[in-house]
């Protein structure tokens, strides 16, 4: 007791020590409170997951089996720890067989999805880049229409960049343990919904005659000086929390993508008509006329069962009777001297009000000076709001850069597709509504929360 009294006396005589002690004590109390809330959350969700695991199954019903594609480098290695702490226990308690594959190099998730089989679902444990790789591998398959139905995707926001996932789940900033756990429980509860994606077809030449392989993304494309400055912020790590602001100051006189001049060819969005859905009848015929697998002699002794019918989410629409004269009509626009061009799907907080069959093309102000550049960069970091000079809502757009696409050193300039770097070149971008199925509720459950 004497020591406690003496300690309190020291704090009273030294105001600075009192402030330091109060700050440390407040941090400790808040830390304990957060950990207790996480522990209680996991206790409740583990109990629910166990109830799913103990549910009786019908005779002959196969076990659920999922394949987890885990990016161990996500969040500087912290992603795996968070997966083991908040996600894996729920999957195991639910009685789901889990096969975890750790990606070891860039592009491995894409390659795995191109040959994925013998699983009932695929879980993407990473950020925007890992998700884009999985989508690209899945939708490049020859049987992509069938594979998209066979392999629903679970998405766990474990990366540094979770732009698309924040729109899907409705949180802002970095995901919390609650977001990870609820994303996992969507898999356990088997709650599914379709996801709209973007198809990007880059061209190898300026005349747009040699197409490359398509790339698929969820959120969007970001090109310009602000993107380049943001990529440089890790250089100024010694500025600590100020590095994301300092990067715009020191980048204001660097060789960035100041000139994003381009020619745009675009079509207006179409929700569906006889022209843009003319291929659907052929695809349906191809699906229904698949040859049956060869029968063996011993199959004659096995009673025949009814084929399993996949549940239809909605009645099929007869697009042959819908006429839209504006569908596919090309329009052109020239963008000059801007330093910011973005193409976004509805899976971004800024464009979540557009329909799934449309894209938003936004351009920033022209002829931006150093002061305006710094001011705009700080505004984006502070409030996550960008200045938009013009916006187009399109169904498909071809972007042809007309400015200089190489740096002073002769290197190709880059843009971001779902926060992954790609060379700047002509490309055709179109919306692919309901292209894949994901485990998530129809409405974002955390739309009112702030991460």
Torsion of CA 132, 134, 140, 145, to 10 degrees: -110
Residues 6 or more apart whose Cβ sits within 8 Å of residue 232: 247, 250, 251, 254
pLDDT of residue 9: 64
Q: Taking each helix axis as running N to C, give the angle between helix 177-189 and helix 15-53, from 0 to 180 degrees, rounded to the nearest 10.
A: 0
Which sequence spans correspond to the domains of the chain?
40-196, 220-272+324-417
**Cα 61 from Cα 92, distance rounded (Å):** 18
pLDDT of residue 446: 62
**Cα 434 from Cα 355, distance rounded (Å):** 11
DSSP-assigned states of every residue in 37-53: HHHHHHHHHHHHHHHHH
pLDDT of residue 191: 92
**Cα 187 from Cα 102, distance rounded (Å):** 20
Q: Is a pLDDT exceeding 80 seen at residue 16?
A: no
**Cα 128 from Cα 219, distance rounded (Å):** 8
Question: What's the half-sphere exposure (Cβ side, CA atoms, 13 Å) at 193?
Answer: 12
- Architecture, CATH, for domain 40-196: 3-Layer(aba) Sandwich (3.40)
pLDDT of residue 254: 93
Average pLDDT over residues 150-171: 83
The closest of 340, 335, 379 to 257, measured between CA atoms, is 340
pLDDT of residue 249: 95
For residue 110 the two structure tokens come to 């894409």
pLDDT of residue 161: 79
Q: Lowest mean pLDDT: which of 27-41, 224-238, 291-305, 328-342?
A: 291-305
pLDDT of residue 35: 82
pLDDT tens digits, one per residue of 248-305: 999 999 999 999 999 999 999 988 787 776 644 434 433 444 444 455 544 454 444 4
Average pLDDT over residues 442-446: 70
pLDDT tens digits, one per residue of 59-94: 777 889 999 999 988 887 888 899 999 999 999 999
- Local confidence band at 100 (pLDDT 50, 70, 90 cut-offs): very high
- Local confidence band at 125 (pLDDT 50, 70, 90 cut-offs): very high
For residues 350 and 23, which has the higher predicted lDDT (pLDDT)?
350
- Local confidence band at 159 (pLDDT 50, 70, 90 cut-offs): confident
In this prediction the pTM is 0.81
For residue 38 the two structure tokens come to 């996480």
């Amino acid at each position: 007791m004497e020591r406690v009294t003496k300690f309190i006396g020291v704090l009273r005589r030294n105001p600075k020590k009192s402030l330091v002690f109060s700050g440390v004590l407040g941090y400790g109390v808040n830390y304990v409170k957060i950990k207790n809330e996480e522990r209680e959350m996991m206790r409740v969700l583990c109990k629910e997951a166990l109830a799913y695991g103990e549910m009786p199954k019908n005779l002959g019903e196969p076990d659920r089996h999922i394949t987890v594609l885990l990016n161990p480098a996500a969040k500087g290695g912290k992603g795996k720890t968070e997966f083991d702490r908040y996600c894996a226990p729920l999957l195991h308690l639910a009685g789901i067989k889990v096969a975890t594959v750790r990606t070891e190099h860039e592009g491995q998730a894409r390659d795995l999805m191109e040959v994925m089989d013998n699983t009932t679902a695929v879980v993407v444990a990473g950020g925007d880049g890992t998700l884009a790789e999985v989508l690209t591998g899945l939708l490049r398959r020859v049987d992509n229409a069938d594979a998209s139905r066979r392999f629903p995707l679970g998405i766990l926001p474990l990366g540094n960049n979770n732009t698309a996932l924040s729109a899907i789940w409705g949180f802002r900033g970095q995901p919390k343990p609650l977001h990870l756990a609820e994303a996992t429980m969507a898999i356990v509860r088997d709650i599914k919904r379709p996801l709209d994606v973007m198809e990007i077809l880059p061209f190898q030449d300026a005349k747009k005659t040699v197409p490359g392989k398509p790339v698929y993304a969820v959120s969007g494309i970001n090109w310009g000086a602000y993107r380049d400055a943001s990529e440089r912020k890790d250089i100024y790590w010694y500025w600590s929390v100020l590095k994301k602001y300092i990067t715009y100051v020191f980048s204001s006189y660097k060789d960035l993508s100041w000139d994003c001049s381009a020619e745009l060819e675009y079509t207006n969005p179409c929700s569906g008509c006889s022209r843009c859905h003319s291929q659907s009848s052929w695809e349906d015929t191809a699906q229904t006329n698949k040859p049956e697998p060869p029968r063996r002699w011993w199959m004659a002794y096995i009673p025949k069962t009814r084929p399993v019918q996949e549940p239809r989410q909605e009645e099929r629409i007869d697009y042959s009777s819908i006429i839209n004269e504006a569908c596919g009509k090309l329009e052109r626009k020239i963008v000059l001297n801007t330093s910011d061009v973005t193409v976004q799907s509805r899976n971004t907080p800024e464009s979540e009000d557009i329909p799934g069959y449309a894209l938003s093309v936004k351009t920033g102000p022209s002829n931006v000076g150093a002061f305006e550049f710094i001011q705009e960069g700080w505004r984006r970091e502070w409030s996550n709001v960008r200045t938009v000079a013009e916006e187009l809502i399109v169904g498909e757009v071809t972007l042809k850069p007309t400015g200089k696409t190489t740096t002073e050193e002769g290197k190709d300039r880059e843009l971001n597709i779902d926060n992954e770097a790609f060379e700047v070149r002509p490309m055709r971008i179109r919306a692919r509504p309901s292209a894949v199925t994901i485990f998530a509720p129809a409405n974002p459950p955390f739309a009112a929360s702030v991460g």
